[in-house]
C-alpha cells in the first residue's frame, strides 16, 4: 500500500490544473517553482541575515514561543534584504493563481524567511487566515482571502521538518474543529520547489529531527487589497529600494492603492483621496 502524497505539478502545467489540485486538497507541490539561478541568488543574498539572526523569539508569551519556535530563525523585509526576492514577488504563476483565486486586487501579506533548526519541535497546526477572525467564523463559506507559498531554499525532507498539511481542511464545515496531526501529509520536495496552499488550509512546520541540518524555507503570501497585511512593507522596504522594482512588485509592496476592480477608483490606502502612487518622489 503506497503512502499518500501531495499532488505535484510543474510550473508549465496549466494554472487551472494546479488550482484544481489546490481546490481538492488545500495545497499542492510545484516542483522547480523557481530556476536554480534564482534559488542560488536567494540563498546567497539572504545568507548573511540567516547567519546573524538568532533562533527563537523575545516574546514571553508561551503560546507565541510555541508558534514561532525556539529553534527557528524568522525575519521579514525580504525585498530590502535580497533583490532576488523581487523576482519571486513578480512570479507569473503566483500572479496567475492569485488573480483567479482572489478575484479582486491583492497585495503582499508578508514575505518571511523561516529557517528551522535542529531540535525544533513540530509547529502548532494552524490556518493563516486566523489573522482576520471573521474568516474563521465564516468557515468554508468565507471568500478566498489569501494564497501562499512555502518555497524550499534547501531540500525539504520529513527529518528536517518539511511543512505538514491536513488535506481537505479548507473545506471543513467548522474552522473551530481540532485537526488530528496523524492525518497530516508532509510537503517533501527538493530545493527550488514550492508548496502552494490557501489561507483556509491547516498546516505547520514539521519537527527537525536532525543533529546539524537547518531547513531553509521562505514564505510568501498575497491577501485581498482591503485587508491589512501582516507585514508593513512600505516601512520595511522604503521607496528608495522599491523604486528599482517593477510596477507589479511596487503594487505588492503597497506603493499603489489597491482597487476593488481593476478599472475602479481606489477606496482605501489613500492620501487626500488619491492613489498613493501620485505622492511618490520621481
| 150 neighbors 96 (Cβ within 8 angstroms) | no
Among residues 175, 174, 223, the alpha carbon closest in space to that of 198 is found at: 223
266 grid coordinates: 481606489
Spatial distance between the Cα atoms of 282 and 280, rounded to a whole number of angstroms:
7
pLDDT digits (tens, 9 = 90+) for 130-173: 999 999 999 999 999 999 999 999 999 999 999 999 999 999 99
Spatial distance between the Cα atoms of 107 and 222, rounded to a whole number of angstroms:
5
User: Cβ of 54: how many Cβ atoms within 10 Å?
Assistant: 7
pTM score of the predicted model = 0.95
Spatial distance between the Cα atoms of 253 and 231, rounded to a whole number of angstroms:
9
Q: What value, to the nearest 5°, has the Cα angle with vertex 45 and ends 44 and 49?
A: 105
Whether 188 shows a pLDDT value over 90: the answer reads yes
Spatial distance between the Cα atoms of 238 and 274, rounded to a whole number of angstroms:
20
Range in 2-11, 69-78, 252-261 with the lowest mean pLDDT? 2-11
pLDDT computed for residue 267 by the predictor: 87
| 257 neighbors 266 (Cβ within 8 angstroms) | yes
**Domain locations in the chain as residue ranges:** 8-233
pLDDT computed for residue 3 by the predictor: 63
Among residues 68, 8, 4, 22, the alpha carbon closest in space to that of 200 is found at: 22
pLDDT computed for residue 167 by the predictor: 97
Spatial distance between the Cα atoms of 269 and 282, rounded to a whole number of angstroms:
20
pLDDT digits (tens, 9 = 90+) for 28-77: 999 999 999 999 999 999 999 999 999 988 776 777 777 888 999 999 99
Mean pLDDT in residue range 240-249: 97
**More confident call, 282 vs 108:** 108
Mean pLDDT in residue range 87-102: 98
Specify burial of residue 253 (Cβ count, 10 A radius: 0-12, 13-18, 19+): buried
pLDDT computed for residue 73 by the predictor: 97
Spatial distance between the Cα atoms of 72 and 146, rounded to a whole number of angstroms:
24
Fold of 8-233: Jelly Rolls (2.60.120)
Specify burial of residue 264 (Cβ count, 10 A radius: 0-12, 13-18, 19+): exposed
The helix (H) or strand (E) run that includes residue 17 is: helix 15-25
Mean pLDDT in residue range 96-100: 97
4 grid coordinates: 499518500
pLDDT digits (tens, 9 = 90+) for 193-240: 999 999 999 999 999 999 999 999 999 999 999 999 999 999 999 999
Q: What are the distances in angstroms from CA 229 to CA 54, 140, 183, 253? A: 25, 21, 30, 10
Amino acid at each position: 500500500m503506497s503512502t499518500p502524497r501531495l499532488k505535484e505539478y510543474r510550473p508549465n502545467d496549466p494554472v487551472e490544473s494546479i488550482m484544481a489540485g489546490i481546490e481538492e486538497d488545500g495545497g499542492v507541490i510545484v516542483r522547480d517553482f523557481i530556476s536554480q539561478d534564482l534559488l542560488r541568488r536567494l540563498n546567497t543574498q539572504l545568507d548573511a541575515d540567516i547567519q546573524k539572526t538568532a533562533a527563537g523569539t523575545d516574546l514571553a508569551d508561551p503560546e507565541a514561543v510555541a508558534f514561532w519556535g525556539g529553534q527557528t530563525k524568522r525575519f521579514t523585509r525580504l525585498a530590502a534584504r535580497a533583490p532576488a526576492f523581487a523576482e519571486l514577488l513578480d512570479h507569473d504563476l503566483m500572479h496567475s493563481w492569485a488573480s483567479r483565486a482572489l478575484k479582486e486586487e491583492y497585495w503582499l501579506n508578508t514575505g518571511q524567511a523561516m529557517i528551522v533548526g535542529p531540535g525544533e519541535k513540530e509547529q502548532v497546526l494552524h490556518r493563516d487566515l486566523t489573522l482576520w477572525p471573521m474568516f474563521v467564523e465564516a468557515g468554508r463559506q468565507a471568500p478566498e482571502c489569501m494564497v501562499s507559498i512555502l518555497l524550499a531554499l534547501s531540500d525539504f525532507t520529513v527529518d528536517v521538518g518539511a511543512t505538514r498539511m491536513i488535506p481537505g481542511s479548507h473545506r471543513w464545515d467548522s474552522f473551530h474543529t481540532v485537526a488530528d496531526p496523524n492525518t497530516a501529509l508532509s510537503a517533501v520536495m527538493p530545493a527550488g520547489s514550492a508548496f502552494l496552499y490557501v489561507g483556509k488550509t491547516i498546516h505547520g512546520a514539521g519537527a527537525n529531527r536532525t543533529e546539524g541540518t537547518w531547513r531553509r524555507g521562505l514564505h510568501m503570501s498575497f491577501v485581498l487589497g482591503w485587508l491589512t497585511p501582516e507585514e508593513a512593507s512600505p516601512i520595511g522596504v522604503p521607496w528608495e529600494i522599491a523604486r528599482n522594482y517593477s510596477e507589479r512588485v511596487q503594487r505588492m509592496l503597497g506603493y499603489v492603492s489597491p482597487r476593488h476592480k481593476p478599472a475602479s477608483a481606489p477606496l482605501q490606502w489613500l492620501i487626500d483621496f488619491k492613489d498613493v502612487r501620485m505622492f511618490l518622489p520621481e
